[in-house]
Amino acid sequence: MDMKLTGKTALVLASSTGLGKAIATELAREGANVMLTSRSMDKLEEAKKDILKTARGKVDYTVADITDAESIQNLVEATRNTFGPISILVNNAGGPPSGTFEDFDDTDWQKAFDLTLFSFIRTIRAVLPDLKETGGHILNNASSSIKQPIDGLTLSNVFRMGISGLSKSLSQELAAHHILVNTIGAGRIETERLVQLDAAKAEKQGKTQQEVTDQIEQSIPLGRYGQPEEFAKTAVFLVSGANTYLTGQNILIDGGLVKSY
């Protein structure tokens, strides 16, 4: 399938590691010019080198703090100046701390909002003039919790649902500009974040991390954790020229874990 990504400009948030890096890798492999970003220059430099090994498109990076409005604006301008008008935006962010409702105060809630939801809103606002010119795609990375809340991730559960609502609203409002907006959600995809969550759960339950992993894998119909590359392939289709009619949808990459429709 021709993804029609050659020469397209893509901005991928939180892309030095994990799912963001995996999506950026697949986009560059398909010929898109990709701007990476995170707060760590060292991690970005390493990610750029890794991605260029298989890239057909160009790859660059800009250090940015996506919880800061000015930093987001500078990031968008740097992307535009480097590669031209942006036609693909992949919103992504690291997850907020794990815990239950009573574990968090006002500061915790505000930080989680700024990271997990408000960063998406601000970046969309900054990129929107380009997308109105080029058409294109917005993909908001959330979590399987948009369909089924995850125990011990109250902050994430709340704001990931907000992402879903944002995507659905925008898919209606921006359709006249030929902008497609979708939400993608990961189940148990084997990333550093997932390893940390499993380790925390193991410590709390007095089990080994492997015991926790084995127990969770038994609840997944496909019987294993997914790999970032598997997640990224679906993400790239959703933002590619091959997707011309799918918008306003929540797509889970979870091996069948979530039982809701």
pLDDT at 194: 84
pLDDT at 193: 81
3: amino acid identity, one letter:
M
pLDDT at 201: 86
CA 217 to chain centre: 23
pLDDT at 112: 98
- Residue pLDDT, tens place only, 107-151: 999 999 999 999 999 999 999 999 999 899 999 999 999 999 999
Half-sphere exposure of 79 (CA within 13 A, CB side): 30
List the one residue out of 126, 144, 131 whose CA is nearest residue 189.
144
Cα angle for residues 247, 261, 180 (degrees, 5° grid): 5
252 neighbors 147 (Cβ within 8 angstroms) = yes
Determine the Cα–Cα distance for residues 82 and 34; give it in Å rounded to an integer: 10
Contacts of residue 63, Cβ cutoff 8 Å, sequence gap at least 6: 37, 38, 39, 40, 41, 44
- The low-confidence residues of the chain, meaning pLDDT below 50, are none
